[in-house]
Amino acid sequence: MSDQQKHKLEFIDRVLAEREAQSYVRSLQSIEPLDAVRVIKNGKTLINFSSNDYLGLSKHPTLIQSAQRYMERYGVGSNASRLVTGNYAIYEQLEAQLATACGRETALLFNTGFQANSTVLTVLADRRSLILCDRHIHSSLLQGIIASRSTLIRFRHNDLDHLETLLSQSQKKPYNRILIVSETVFSMDGDRADIDQLIALANQYNALLYLDDAHAIGVLGKNGMGLTAYRRDIDITIGTFGKAFGSFGAFVTCSQKLKDYLINTCPGFIYTTALPPAILGAIAAALELVPNLNAERQFLLQRAEKLRRKLQNSGYDTGASNTQIVSLILGEVDLVIRLTNWLESQGILTIGIRPPTVAVGTARVRLALSSCHSLEHYQQLIQAIETWNR
């Protein structure tokens, strides 16, 4: 590398050195999947307690066969954007089925949840708008808010009194529009937003309500179709297929009017190749299965509750979790690294979550549970945690 080139890239050394000093450096770890809940890492079989595959559908034969059928019929690629020549009938069929299953007016497919959040918000708000969002929202939502150039104020996590104060203060200001943005299940805490109260506040202050249901879809709500399913007065919701649905992709549910608007304006819908047909096949098969998995969901949520109680009795802080995401909040990054290393030595794969993903002083081991974890898997997990010498 020439001296000039080295000089240009100096900022990278600085940033990485800073992260190294705080133990915040991220690196890719290679694993091979065995089944829905087991992987091989460095030649060793581990039980995976960090995947978002909450129902084990990523390895389900029905999804795999459906993906194969769609691929054989439609090819491996969709060749173009939906608005060019990529709009096969299967996309619109799936959207209609999704809207029905979610009890919402219409649905629109997106390639990923990240792409939906980071681009839909840019056409819902502009320089003259105000966006009030929960302090713990996902990075993809923040990307969209920042790109919209609207005024951003974050309310304290799940503190809707704080939200109401901000809404009331904003009434005197000349904003053209106010948006409220929240997740329904928070990805790092595993707690839930008060959706009734969010709807009431949005109605009272005439604000648009934007809810990200990524971790609820498949697991919570009527027939497992998310906490926003069958709810009126939520202007727009986001669901993803990369988590409990087991494959990939995302969707928005909203009114027909808003759907027409997104098709005409949203860059993340217009300027991208439509999802591959095989993925449509996997999603369509999952959509048939998911409503019938009530027993699996019940088992999952009961095990989560038992696990929380057990961990709390052993002195661990699981925060406000009341879903299939259970975080062990340890505070210091070094403790998190030591616990994840210990668990791995005991055959358990977990991932530590550190700043800047979560606030400084709240580093944690995030456990993501699956209905495919057996009672023996839980026993092994609990034993490993209880024998850890802090």
Ligand X SMILES: *Cc1c(COP(=O)(O)O)cnc(C)c1O
Is residue 129 flagged as an active site residue? no
CB of 10 to ligand X, least distance (A): 32
| Interface contacts to ligand X, rule CB under 6 A | 112-114, 117, 138, 140, 183, 187, 212, 214-215, 240, 242, 250
- Pick the catalytic residue: 48, 118, 150, 187? 187
Query: Are 62 and 184 a contacting pair, CB within 8 Å?
Result: no
Is residue 215 flagged as an active site residue? yes
Closest CB to ligand X: residue number: 113
Is residue 138 flagged as an active site residue? yes
Which is nearer to ligand X, 248 or 384 (by Cβ)? 248
Burial of 371 (0-12, 13-18, 19+ CB in 10 A): buried
Is residue 52 flagged as an active site residue? yes
Which is nearer to ligand X, 133 or 384 (by Cβ)? 133
What three-state secondary structure class fits 337?
Answer: helix
CB of 186 to ligand X, least distance (A): 8
SS (H, E, C) 148-181: HCCEEEEECCCCHHHHHHHHHHHCCCCCCEEEEE
CB of 245 to ligand X, least distance (A): 10
Is residue 310 flagged as an active site residue? no
- Pick the catalytic residue: 52, 58, 129, 370? 52
Which is nearer to ligand X, 190 or 352 (by Cβ)? 190
- Pick the catalytic residue: 138, 259, 373, 377? 138
Tokens 């616990």 — which residue?
Answer: 339
Is residue 377 flagged as an active site residue? no
Is residue 136 flagged as an active site residue? no
Query: Are 141 and 116 a contacting pair, CB within 8 Å?
Result: no
- Pick the catalytic residue: 60, 215, 373, 377? 215
Give dist(CA 197, CA 191) in Å, integer: 15
CB of 247 to ligand X, least distance (A): 10
Residue 41 vs residues 38, 58, 74, 128: alpha-carbon distances, Å: 10, 19, 35, 50
CB of 279 to ligand X, least distance (A): 11
Sequence letter at residue 17 = A
- Pick the catalytic residue: 53, 212, 213, 296? 212
DSSP string of 187-226, one letter each residue: TTT--B--HHHHHHHHHHTT-EEEEE-TTTBTTSSGGGB-
The H or E element spanning position 245 is: none
Q: Which residues are catalytic, by number?
A: 52, 138, 183, 187, 212, 215, 243
